[in-house]
Amino acid sequence: MDKETKLGHLLMTRAVDKTGNVISIKDADNGLKCDCNCIVCDKPVLARQGSIAWSFAHVSTQACSWSGETELHLIAKEVIKKDRRIKFRHLTLNGQSHYIDVEFSEVEEEVFDGLYRPDLVCTSVDGERFLVEICVSHQCEKEKVSFYRKQRENLIEIVLPTRLPEGVEYLDEEIVRALIDQATVHCLSINPLSIFAEELAALNQKHISEQGSQLRYLRECGRELEAKRDTLSQSVNKLSRCYSDWEKHKVKVENKVKKYENNLRRNIESQKEVRAYLQQTHQLQHQIKELKSQCSAVKNQFNNAKVALDQEISKYRKQQMEAVKHQVSTTEFSLNSQLSLLKSEIETLRTLELVLREDDSVTKVDTAIQIIKLHYEDKFDELERDWMVVRRLKNDSLMPTTIAENRRTLPPLTSENVDSLVSSVRTYKDMKG
């Protein structure tokens, strides 16, 4: 329940009438006619039976220790007297739960037995006596439990919950009966000769027999383990003696080894060759250390020199690249100039060929043409060689169209070429001039 009602806020529904019996508000007369007293302080109370919840109230304003716990305790005894049974959960030795329902043929309240006054004294249908203690806030005293155990009484304690549903103003039998079903029930004392004890023992009989078998098996295992332990103890004692003898023998052998080692060392050190060898070994080790230090220094110098050399090489490469670029540009300019001159010479020779043809000097013209062609091819080869030099110096240069392979020989003259040249060139002498 998320929200709960406290016992201290409950209304009083039980009081003592003039005959000394506890009665309910439903059985009393209204107002002061009820002629009832408080159960706790024994002061007069009046019955309020109006439109709201019915309840008893003190007539005087004197303080009273009555509380909802008293109300719950009284009504719980009424419910048990009316139902004449108690149901509770019993756990066996193996942890299994069994619900036990005890029915009563007779229930008496507040019967004094000479030393204590139990809340209820009940007699079961089998004729066995049960003492019932109802606990709201104070559990049964240890002395009382010890007394009833010595008397071999069946003592049952019912621990009621104090949490009520929200909105409860007063208690009735239904609410208290539900609380009893939720209560924790303890068997504080059991009569070992009673039928109730036999029923509880029957629930544990199977588990007890299984435990007995397990105990017998464990006892046998224990005897076997004891026999093995004795055997192991004898073996351990024997091994301990052997270990002690071995330790003594070990000490003797170690002493002999040390003595032999000392004698051998003295014999070795007494020989001249051995001493000389040891001195030489010491010197060589010293020289090795010096060489290692020198190698380390040389290695550092080499690394420094390598760094400096890499820097010089990078600088030299930059300078060479700049010089090559300048030379390539200069050579390219020179080639372009030569190409221009060659073009002008070619045009002059073509014009000369046309003039010669016009003067009917065929033989001389053919001879001149052959000379011109040879001269042209020589110049073309010279330009091609210069271009190869430029190509090696500058790979990304484009080949000029004037030195393409289809330009290696002069193209033949046509009438169109002749007509265009005749109008501008008249004589060979003029052309030569």
Q: 263: helix, coil or strand?
A: helix
pLDDT for position 264: 81
pLDDT for position 271: 73
| Cα separation, 131 vs 116, whole angstroms | 11
Read off the amino acid at residue 89.
R
pLDDT for position 338: 80
Continuous segment of H or E residues that includes residue 104? strand 97-109
- Looking only at the bridges linking them, the beta strands covering 129-135 and 120-124 are antiparallel
Q: 108: helix, coil or strand?
A: strand
Continuous segment of H or E residues that includes residue 89? strand 85-91
pLDDT for position 431: 36
Answer left, alpha or beta for residue 25, where phi above 0 means left and psi between -120 and 50 means alpha.
alpha
Q: What is the mean pLDDT of each run of 10 residues along the chain (433 residues)?
A: 59 89 89 90 90 86 86 90 83 66 89 86 90 87 90 89 80 88 84 73 72 83 90 90 89 90 79 76 89 89 88 87 82 81 81 67 66 78 78 73 69 53 40 37
pLDDT for position 79: 92
Instruction: Name 106's bridge partners.
Output: 123
Write out the DSSP string of 375-409.
HHHHHHHHHHHHHHHHHHH-TTPPPPGGGSGGGSS
Give alpha helix (H) positions in 95-136.
none
Distance between start and end Cα atoms, the chain: 134
Contacts of 359 (CB under 8 A, 6+ apart): 428
The dihedral formed by the CA atoms of 193, 196, 199 and 204, expressed in degrees to the nearest 10 = -80
Instruction: Name 18's bridge partners.
Output: none
